[in-house]
Amino acid sequence: MGRSASGTAVTERKKGGSRELKVRVKTGKKRTLSSKIWLERQLNDPYVARAKKEGFRSRSAFKLMEIDDKHRFLKTGARVVDLGAAPGGWSQIAAKRTGAPAKGRVIAIDVLEMEALSGVNFLHLDFLDAAAPDRLKAMLGGPADIVLTDMAANATGHRQTDHLKIMALVEAAAEFAREVLSPGGTFLAKVLQGGTESALLAGLKRDFASVKHIKPAASRADSAELYLLATGFRGSN
């Protein structure tokens, strides 16, 4: 076992005749148990390592790649809106696969700052701000083909409260999607296990040809997150 100056320990384990390194983090005076668990998980997460190696802003980029590899909605030339985009993992994938800015168009929004990305137009604003929908529509300059949202409210630790908070974000995003999507469009949103609200699900099934829940391999097994994919928008009434 080795130790680093940052208070981490590297443990070497044998697995299938090979050696596997696992990083363990010490709990110091300035580090809480929850922060220790989070840091230890990040250091040992293969998707975090891959994201860093391949130049992606976040591990969530692999979730979108996996979903799109199977369902093929990020087509060249598509117009995309990425809600809650920071730090930019999904926007990176969207820009690359749609050919933005030469062919496709990607508009991103977040209450947090986000470093500039090639092919992505970013709006630094809370999506729930009353001015946000009109500003996004103006930036689009026309209907969207895809609306993405990986938004999540700050966790409280109370499962029911956290579920309600993220569902409120999804409902707002779904309403926006209905306003901007062209017929045949796609809506992809993060939700939490515990049941998508029946009213939201019924509305999406009415307005989209197909609605399904997806758990990509890049989503941690111990995470309650799921992704709701609605395709084949029937058009606004």
Is 8 within the bounds of a domain?
yes
What integer pLDDT is reported at residue 119 of this predicted model? 96
Predicted confidence (pLDDT) at residue 163 exceeds the cutoff of 90: no
Do residues 204 and 133 share a domain? yes
Q: Which residues pair with 227 in a beta bridge?
A: 190, 214
Please compute the mean of the pLDDT values over residues 143-163 and round it to a whole number. Answer: 82
Which of these ranges, 27-41, 110-124, 142-156, 202-216, has the smallest mean pLDDT?
Answer: 27-41
Which contiguous run of DSSP H or E holds residue 139? helix 132-140
More confident residue, 179 or 224: 179
Q: Which residue type does 37 have?
A: I
Predicted confidence (pLDDT) at residue 18 exceeds the cutoff of 50: no
Do residues 130 and 224 share a domain? yes
Q: What is the CATH number of the domain that holds 203?
A: 3.40.50.150
Q: How far is CA 83 from CA 39, 50, 187, in A?
A: 26, 24, 11
What integer pLDDT is reported at residue 29 of this predicted model? 52
The residue range of the domain holding 28 is: 2-44
More confident residue, 232 or 192: 232
Is 50 within the bounds of a domain?
no
Do residues 120 and 151 share a domain? yes
Which contiguous run of DSSP H or E holds residue 63? helix 60-71
Is 105 within the bounds of a domain?
yes
Q: How confident is the model at residue 7 (pLDDT cuts 50, 70, 90)?
A: low
Q: Which residue type does 22 have?
A: K
Do residues 13 and 112 share a domain? no
Pairing of strands 2-3, 79-83: unpaired
Mean pLDDT for the chain overall: 82
The percentage of residues in the chain with a pLDDT greater than 70, rounded to a whole number, is 75
Please compute the mean of the pLDDT values over residues 65-94 and round it to a whole number. Answer: 97
Q: How confident is the model at residue 31 (pLDDT cuts 50, 70, 90)?
A: low
What integer pLDDT is reported at residue 184 of this predicted model? 98
Do residues 194 and 107 share a domain? yes
Do residues 38 and 71 share a domain? no
Do residues 126 and 227 share a domain? yes
Do residues 37 and 67 share a domain? no
Pairing of strands 105-110, 120-124: parallel
Please give the positions annotated as active site.
190
- Produce one character per residue of 54-93: b if its CB has 16 or more CB atoms within 10 Å, e if not: eebbbbbbbbbbbbbeeeebbeeebbbbbbbbbbbbbbbb
More confident residue, 98 or 153: 98
**How many domains does the chain divide into?**
2
Do residues 83 and 198 share a domain? yes
C-alpha to C-alpha distance for 71 and 231, rounded to whole angstroms: 9
What pTM value is reported for the model? 0.78
Is 55 within the bounds of a domain?
no
Please compute the mean of the pLDDT values over residues 67-71 and round it to a whole number. Answer: 97
Do residues 134 and 209 share a domain? yes
Please compute the mean of the pLDDT values over residues 95-105 and round it to a whole number. Answer: 97
Which stretches of the chain are assigned E, i.e. beta strand?
A: 2-3, 8-15, 18-25, 79-83, 105-110, 120-124, 144-149, 181-192, 208-214, 225-233
Is 81 within the bounds of a domain?
yes
Please compute the mean of the pLDDT values over residues 130-157 and round it to a whole number. Answer: 91
Do residues 40 and 67 share a domain? no
